Structure 1
Amino acid sequence: MAWLCLLMILSTCQTTWAFDTRSESKLSNLTRVLLESARDPEFFGWLKWIRRRIHEYPELAFEEDNTSQLIKSELDSLGVEYSWPFAKTGVVGSIGSGLQPWFGLRADMDALPIQEMVEWEHKSKNNGKMHACGHDAHVAMLLGAAKLLERMKDELKGTVKLVFQPGEESYGGAYHMLKEGALDNFQGIFGLHVAPEIPVGTVSSRPGPMLAASGRFIATINGKGGHAARPQDTRDPVLAASFSILALQQIVSRETDPLDAMVVSVSFVEAGQAGNVIPETVRFGGSIRSLTTEGLVFLQQRVKQIVEMQAAVHQCTASLDFMEEKMRPYPSTVNDEAMYEHAKQVGEALLGESNVLLAPMTMGAEDFSFYSQKMKAAFFFIGTKNEAVRSVKRLHSPYFVIDEEVLPIGAAFHAAVAIAYLDGHAMDTQ
């Protein structure tokens, strides 16, 4: 009965979902039916099975072979066509007419090199690897959306593209998906990320800049080693590195506008091991972040200049590696304002206006930002916080837990955003 209601809602659409207030009742009906369908016990059980299966066998960036195989198997069972591989393990499914507009829904697949400390039936079976950032839930929610969308594919006014992406954790999988043409000709894209800071049943985002641009650096300072009793015979790289690290802290405190958020963090230092020997080489590195992509470029330039100059002052030499091939810097995640408003309105219809929150800007980074540079994009957080099931730990914690009640909400939100976008775009072009 729920599916019959859904088809009737879609078949009578005459106005734009996202921007025409006359469609509010239809959008409310659509989201209600989608959420009820996703919360059906059999459907919900399948979502949990998907998420738990992926959680048990986490795979790191560009190694998501088993996860990719599971996705393909489930798409096959749903009758969803897909292309594979992109960026080694990426999968792009397609539901609808195949005609424009093409609208993307994205889920990342990779896990983290973290040892899970949560004792439960579905604990990670891959030692030293864990889905501590919720990507297992992201995949389950997008497969759930695929199941909802496939059942009414003939009513879609265009094509929904399901983007299952590898390597989000520091390796820029989104960049490689774009480079290989996986998202060519997309008009827009929507992404969700679980958030343990906000309760289950809420979502949050903001228009414009949302997450920081981020990059890594490794500095190597070479001097002349020697015995600690005769420092005059050496060119001490430890001293040069120490002055460099202190000088880097002045970039943000003295060279940038206090209202422009930037961060320079040195997170490791490697030098010699003997207490009576001055080493020949010191390596140190960390991360740089800015709420604008231009700010990140500025930080890269200044880090390089400062380290090289401090090395020269101490009669050493320095080299900088910004790891642009292996761990490509991420641009700032910027939500298109119209796409944000569209997804916000869908979220309000799905969960209620009071449960769609304005997210603060943060210095965290996401490679969804590469998509937001190329097309109209909206990125939302979806709440997983629930004290009753201990889903309160932050992302990347070995004690990270999610409340699986988020799964049907995410599936319905994905599907509703896509349906509404296609309907609205189709009406705009008539």
Structure 2
Amino acid sequence: MESRRPSSVLLLLVLLAAPLMVASAGPSSPTAFLEDDVVLGAVARLGKGANASGRGGARCDVDVDISAVVGGPSRERGASGWKEEIAGLAGRPEMAAWLRRVRRRIHERPELAYEEVETSRLVREELEGMGVSFRYPLARTGLVATIGTGRPPVVALRADMDALPIQGTVKLLFQPAEESGAGAKRMIEDGALEGVEAIFAVHVSHQHPTSVVGSRTGPLLAGCGFFKAQILARRAGADPVLAASSTIISLQSLVSREADPLDSQVVSVAMVNGSFSLGGDPAAPLVLGGTFRAFSNASFYTLRRRIEEVMTLQPRVHGCEASVDFFENQSFYPPTVNHPRMYAHVKATARALLGDAGYRDVPPMMGAEDFSFYSQAVPAGFYYVGVRNETLGSVHTGHSPYFMIDEDVLPTGAAVHAAIAERYLAGGAERDGDPRSPEQEP
């Protein structure tokens, strides 16, 4: 009577890349063959997640006539019966779960040529658990497993298991002083980008749901500069307060009267400090301070030049003089601009890994990042990964004292960041389409 027990050896070949080649079959062959009325042992751990350490694993609920697969009396069934049988075996939920588990274990430990120690061990453990005999080692880490009757015809199935080495180099830039101090600029000055042809960075965002990736092509974050001016009276009757007031009004007109209304820019005076009118030292300067922002390098540097002109020239009308500091070695960040091809690569990688719902294009923000210095030096891709989870209270901006993150984002962020580098080295950035996005079409 024909035994009916589960078989996964042929499906295992889809996952495991061990070199499989069947030796010549015959009575004296050292490799054990399965007779007509014997089928492969059960996959011992279906649904349990553990590997067997010996032969003859436990039975499971999948029933299949393996002779239809490896040869035997059932080969003479109807012409289409074998299709349903193999498809039925591969489609069982418990079989699919086992296949996924084995595949993931293989890819957790990629090994190069002749170093496939762990992968080869995994192959042997799975074969032992199914009661399949094998010959090991061949070619150092390879093996040969044999199933079937031992009689002709004999067919071989080959799978390779060595991983590809990383084709290139990944530099990991652990940078200080992002919040202030222009750490990226100093990293570049000290050679951090030597030989680098592309760079990527990720930042958490409370605006997007946990594990959703967001980015955009072109300007993503504004350039940000700070200024501090000191106004001094230079003649009798000069009023630094009046000079400061006139200067502030003139600064506000830079955006309203000079900037393209479709090119977002900001100039804000956020500090006015003068004490001499309240009994202080009349020689003490009146201090103005503020910030300016823009999304293009041209607008950003034009705005900087015009602010300096207004702040140094306008006080002269009122008998005063002024000096201005832009803190360009501390907190002067140009716009962060995503290269079209790097943006496309981030988008394609995130969608491939997370699905379409796991990625979204996002609008530009007036916030700033010193990653902008890198984006000026080499093609760059900056993106966000969401941490917003209202149930946990992860809803506050990163500069809030109440800021926290939904830590479920960590595996996603790590996977996406690693995949972006790996796929770039594998040529993914070249395959991600036309470097021009729809937004840049004329």
Question: Which TM-score band (shorter chain)?
Answer: 0.5 to 0.7
SS in 1 for 2:309: helix
> Does the alignment pair 1:218 with 2:222?
no
SS in 1 for 2:230: strand
CA distance in 2 between partners of 1:377 and 1:305 (Å): 33
Q: Give yes or no for contact 1:199–1:384 (8 Å, CA) kept in 2.
A: yes
8 Å Cα contact 2:211/2:413 also seen in 1: no
Q: Corresponding residue for 1:349?
A: 352
Which of the numbers 329, 337, 341 marks the counterpart of 1:338?
Answer: 341
Q: What's the offset of the Cα at 1:355?
A: 2.0
**Relative to 1, partners in 2 of residues 1:171 and 1:33: Cα closer, same or farther, differing over 3 Å?**
farther
C-alpha distance after superposition, 1:172-219 (max 9, x if no partner): 111110100012001111100000011002010001111111111111
2:367 aligned counterpart, secondary structure: coil
Q: Deviations over 1:277-308 (max 9, x none)?
A: 68431011111111011111111111112122
> Is contact 1:175–1:370 with CA below 8 Å preserved after alignment?
yes
Q: Is the 8 A contact 1:191 1:379 kept in 2?
A: yes
Q: 1: distance between equivalents of 2:272 and 2:262?
A: 30
Q: State which of 382, 385, 388 in structure 1 corresponds to 2:385.
A: 382
Q: In 2, are the aligned partners of 1:244 and 1:306 still within 8 Å (CA)?
A: yes
1:25-424 pair list within 5 angstroms: 155-223=165-233, 233-272=236-275, 275-276=278-279, 279-280=282-283, 281-327=285-331, 329-424=332-427
- Count of equivalent residues: 281
Taking the aligned partners of 1:187 and 1:175, their CA distance within structure 2 comes to 17
SS of the residue 2:426 aligns to:
helix
Give the distance between the partners of 2:188 and 2:163, measured in 1 at CA: 26
Which TM-score applies when normalising by structure 1?
A: 0.61
2:9 matched residue in structure 1: none
1:225-266 deviations in Å (ceiling 9; x for gaps): 9xxxxxxx5321111111111221111011111001111011
Aligned to 2:118: none
Larger radius of gyration: 2
Distance 2:175 2:280 in 1: 48
Is the 8 Å Cα contact of residues 262 and 291 (structure 1) preserved in structure 2?
A: yes
> For the residues of structure 1 that align with 2:258 and 2:430, how far apart are their CA atoms?
50
CA contact (8 A) 2:273 2:287 kept: yes
Deviation at 1:33, TM superposition (A): 5.3
Deviates more, 1:294-303 or 1:233-242: 233-242
Aligned 8 A contact 2:210 2:409 in 1: yes
Return the letter of the residue paired with 1:240: A
- CA distance in 1: counterparts of 2:299 and 2:364, whole angstroms: 15
Consecutive aligned runs of 4 or more in structure 1 exceeding 4 Å deviation: 425-428
Tell me which protein shows more helix as a share of its residues: 1
RMSD in angstroms over aligned alpha carbons? Answer: 2.9
Q: Is the contact made by 1:234 and 1:278 (CA closer than 8 Å) also made in structure 2?
A: no
Q: Which runs of 5+ in 2 are unaligned?
A: 1-11, 18-99, 109-161, 432-442
Partner Cα separation in structure 2 for residue 337 and residue 363 of structure 1: 20
Contact 1:236 1:279 in 2 (8 A): no
When residues 153 and 376 of structure 1 are mapped into structure 2, their CA distance, relative to the original with a 3 A threshold, is farther
Does the CA-based 8 Å contact 2:207-2:388 persist in structure 1?
A: yes
- Aligned sequence identity (%): 46
Provide the secondary structure at the position in 1 that maps to 2:174. strand
Shift in CA distance, 426/238, structure 1 to aligned 2, threshold 3 Å = closer
CA shift in 2, pair 1:33/1:210, >3 Å: farther
Displacement of 1:409 in angstroms is: 0.9
Tell me how far apart the structure 2 counterparts of residues 255 and 416 of structure 1 sit (CA, whole Å). 44
